Amino acid sequence: MTFQDQIQQGIPSVLPQPKPYDTTINHAPKRKEILSEDEKKLALRNALRYFEPKHHAELIPEFKEELEKYGRIYMYRLRPEYRMYARPISEYPGKSEQAKAIMLMIQNNLDYAVAQHPHELITYGGNGAVFSNWAQYLLTMKYLSEMTEEQTLVMYSGHPMGLFPSHKEAPRVVVTNGMMIPNYSKPDDWEKFNALGVTQYGQMTAGSYMYIGPQGIVHGTTITVLNGFRKIMKNPSGGLFVTSGLGGMSGAQPKAGTIAGCVTVCAEVNPKITKIRHEQGWIHEIVEDITLLVARVRKALDNKEIVSIAYLGNIVDVWERFDQEGLHIDLGSDQTSLHNPWAGGYYPIGFTFEESNEMMANNPEKFKSEVQKTLRRHADAINKHTAKGTYFFDYGNAFLLEASRAGADVMAANHIDFKYPSYVQDIMGPMCFDYGFGPFRWVCASGKPEDLAKTDKIACDVLEEMMKNSPEEIQQQMADNIQWIKGAQENKLVVGSQARILYADAEGRTKIAEAFNQAIARGEIGYVVLGRDHHDVSGTDSPYRETSNIYDGSRFTADMAIHNVIGDSFRGATWVSIHNGGGVGWGEVINGGFGMVLDGSKEASKRLESMLFWDVNNGISRRSWARNEGAIFAIKRAMESQPLLKVTLPNLVDDALLNN
């Protein structure tokens, strides 16, 4: 069968032979035992409903074994034989070019070079899933290959509910992930209902088909590191950045440190993923001995090298040993998957990687206790460094949240706030999000590197022209992104699809998108897929990250994210998504995303102008109402540019009156 034939057949009527478990790739850890005997039978019934009854007797023992062995039913035997990667859009079967673009994006999320656990359909973050099982993947791709532009595919947490009649201007796909009743959003609820096969954790861009490999997080981390050094008024050259986690975010931190121009040390406990990131070029060196690490870092600092070093071991060893050795850390953070602390997102000190995985599956209470002990040690070591001048920030991975729950010394004197800021509070919120700058991204659907190079130039030309007349308040943001896009090819950031990201405001996104659409109309480039990370101005309500610099008491509300995705859906998005969970954890955040296909048409121009303006300014208006100074400036500017926009502005109160 051809690739197109395999896509169109969906779940095969004749079952493929079982596949051997491939030990050469990175697999998800075994999930903990959480289902009762009756619930295990329910999980089997739920999985078997994808298959004709004639197959049930054959599949029951196999699915039962998967559930016992891995804690989930992945349906490994249905994994396709063809290579998984983002093909040129012309290679996908179908009646809708928009649907073909979505197939391209789904396959990119599952590309072995992109996905963290590709056989478990997990893109990043330890549990950020595109689908829960391979039957869902096959059925979804079949539906997309059949879809017309008068239909919409409805996705329930990885499950394709089906094609429904709609119309040409409606989204082609509507995605939800993990949208639980609020009282059922605790970590064990995810474990239980995911094991039952009825919900999943879509992370952010994993379950919304918009991950572009590590480049997305590299850009945001680069901006953060650059601004972190500006905050401490130090040149990155000769500076030291210490952090941890090479898994779910693909080595973004060391790559970002290299682009910023400092020495980066990133600890990782998983030997396989460390080796992969080294082979991919995201880290320069691997060191396994802590004494050798100290010597190597001293040499790098003395010589003002721009180098990234992976320490194969626990991050706590690094913080404690650097303190003992008097090695000054300029910037410190953490990017382990602490939104997923009990299922492989963070590992305890004093145990090998293999011992930890065994404990996680077979003695989860002990594993949790050891993780919490490690978090307390981790925080104590950080506190020693910050007392000596280190600037530490939480990278929005729930490090401080889980450390506080473990009883670590991370709380401020008021016992309400953390003693260390989220990077959004101190850096990205006031410097970028309040002004409307966030992670705008695009994918060249042709798959041609030359198309990506052309779009880079188009974007750079637009930004340089805009910067000539930009107000002083956003000149730095414009300059950083022009510098980024000029160095994008040189830094070899493409993994998987021919994609790019930069930070732009509503004006920049609209002008760049329109310039792309015109280039498509002229035949200079192929179709372009627009999107963004949910980690943005408007798409995410996350009190410990994206909305952590909202101080009017509303940071625990989720109105903005819900309005964002509703508004995107009727303003022209090709697909929309809304998720419970994300980088900070299940039950801790609601985030929305979109995708938009540009085809060079006048209709695409209308859609991009309407949707991109809303997608950003919805968030700026909320931030303005929270009395954020930069957002008040930005929304006033937006109202000047668009007479139909009329936003309620806050009246500011004199603090002296309240303090009388």
Query: Would 404 be classed as within a structural domain?
Result: yes
Q: In the prediction, which pLDDT does 125 show?
A: 81
Q: Does residue 409 sit within a domain?
A: yes
At residue 335, does pLDDT exceed 90? no
Task: Confirm whether 192 is domain-assigned.
Answer: yes
Same structural domain, 438 and 582: yes
Distance in angstroms (rounded) separating the CA atoms of residues 132 and 70? 13
pLDDT tens for residues 387-403?
Answer: 999 999 988 778 999 99
Specify the CATH number for the domain of residue 363. Answer: 3.40.50.10730
pLDDT for res 215: 83
pLDDT above 70 coverage of the chain, percent: 99
pLDDT tens profile 581-603 = 887 888 999 999 999 999 999 99
Backbone angles phi, psi at 151, to 5 degrees: -135, 155
The whole-number average pLDDT for the span 219-241 is: 92
Calculate the alpha carbon distances from 515 to 62, 499, 508, 594 in Å: 52, 17, 11, 20
Compute the half-sphere exposure of residue 95: CA atoms within 13 Å on the CB side of its CA.
Answer: 11
Determine the Cα–Cα distance for residues 330 and 260; give it in Å rounded to an integer.
13
Whether 413 has a pLDDT exceeding 80, the answer reads yes
Judgement on whether residues 341 and 229 belong to the same structural domain of the protein = yes
What is the average pLDDT across 469-494?
88
Is 580 in a helix, a strand, or coil?
strand
Are 256 and 218 spatial neighbours (Cβ–Cβ below 8 Å)? yes
What is the reported pLDDT for 423?
85
The confidence score (pLDDT) of residue 32 equals 87
When pLDDT is cut at 50, 70 and 90, the band that residue 573 belongs to is: very high
Which CATH number does the domain housing residue 179 bear? 3.40.1770.10
Asked if 347 contacts 269 with a C-beta cutoff of 8 angstroms, the reply is yes
pLDDT in tens, 427-478: 889 989 999 999 999 999 999 999 999 999 999 999 999 999 999 999 999 9
> What element of type H or E holds 599?
none
Which range among 35-44, 198-207, 315-324 shows the weakest confidence by mean pLDDT? 198-207
| Residue 526 resides in a domain | yes
In a domain, 382, yes or no: yes
pTM summary value: 0.89
Summarize pLDDT for 8-29 with one digit per residue, the tens. Answer: 999 999 999 999 999 999 899 8
Residues with Cβ within 8 Å of 350's Cβ and at least 6 positions away in sequence, in order, are: 370, 374
Per-residue pLDDT, averaged over 56-64, amounts to 98
Contact 394, 333 (CB under 8 A): yes
Per-residue pLDDT reduced to its tens digit, 525-536: 999 999 998 889
Same domain for 460 and 602, yes or no, is yes
Q: Could you tell me the pLDDT band of residue 216, with boundaries at 50, 70 and 90?
A: confident
Average model confidence (pLDDT) for the chain?
94
Is residue 27, in this structure, part of any structural domain at all? yes
From the annotation, which residues make up the binding site for NAD(+)? 125-126, 203, 268, 395, 583
Closest CA to 598 of 534, 522, 521: 521
Nearby residues of 1 by Cβ (< 8 Å), 6 or more positions away: 9
CA distance 66 to 61: 9
Instruction: Report whether 480 contacts 222 (CB < 8 A).
Output: no
* Residue 228: both structure tokens together: 């972190």
DSSP string, 444-495: ETT--HHHHHHHHHHHHHHHHHHHTT--GGGHHHHHHHHHHHHHTTTTT---
Please tell me the distance from the alpha carbon of residue 171 to that of residue 572, in angstroms, as a whole number: 7
Residue 93 above 60 pLDDT?
yes
Q: Please, what's the b/e burial string for 96-120 (b: 16 or more CB within 10 A of its CB; e: otherwise)?
A: bbbbbbbbbbbbbbbbeebbbbbbb
pLDDT value at residue 249: 60
Does residue 655 lie in a domain region? no
Alpha helices by DSSP H, 209-342: 215-231, 252-260, 271-279, 290-302, 315-325
What number of CA atoms fall less than 13 Å from residue 323's CA on the CB side?
21
Numbered residues of the known binding site:
125-126, 203, 268, 395, 583
- Determine how many CB atoms are found less than 10 A away from the CB of residue 9: 15
Q: What tokens appear for 270 in the block?
A: 């998983």
Task: Give the whole-angstrom CA distance, residue 92 versus residue 99.
Answer: 9
Do 374 and 448 share a domain, yes or no? no
E strand residue ranges, 282-435: 285-287, 307-312, 331-332, 391-392
Taking residue 448's Cβ as centre, other Cβ atoms within 10 Å add up to 14
Amino acid at residue number 567: G
Q: Which of 196, 222, 248 is the last residue of a domain?
A: 196
Question: Is position 180 within any domain?
Answer: yes
Q: Are residues 150 and 55 in the same domain?
A: yes
Query: CA gyration radius for the chain?
Result: 24
Cβ atoms 225, 241 nearer than 8 A: yes
Domain total of the chain = 3
Instruction: Please tell me the predicted confidence (pLDDT) of residue 340.
Output: 82
* 400 and 437, same domain (yes or no): no
Nearest Cα to Cα of residue 115 among 216, 27, 199: 27
Where does residue 446 rank: exposed (0-12), middle (13-18), buried (19+ CB within 10 A)? Answer: middle
Are both 181 and 231 inside the same structural domain?
Answer: no
**Residues 17 and 141 both lie in one domain:** yes
Q: Which of the listed residues 163, 196, 229 is the one where a domain comes to its end?
A: 196
Confidence of residue 250 (pLDDT cuts 50, 70, 90): low
Q: Token match 């095969």: residue?
A: 12
What is the structure's pLDDT at 643? 95
Note whether 503 and 217 are within 8 A (CB). no
Domain ends where: 372, 391, 420? Answer: 420
Domain that holds residue 491: 430-646
- Specify the pLDDT at position 491: 78
Q: Do 485 and 591 belong together in one domain?
A: yes
Mean pLDDT of 539-565: 94
pLDDT score of 397? 76
- Report pLDDT digits (tens) over 102-121: 999 999 999 998 899 999 99
Beta strand pairing call for 438-444 and 391-392: unpaired
- Tracing tokens 């595109």 back to the chain, one arrives at 130
Give the integer Cα–Cα distance in Å for 337 and 334: 9
Whether residue 162 sits in one domain with residue 224: no
Q: Are residues 228 and 159 part of one domain? A: no
3-state secondary structure 499-511: EEEEEECHHHHHH
Indicate if 256 and 109 belong to the same structural domain: no
Three-class SS state of 89: helix
Residue 212 β-bridge partners: 214
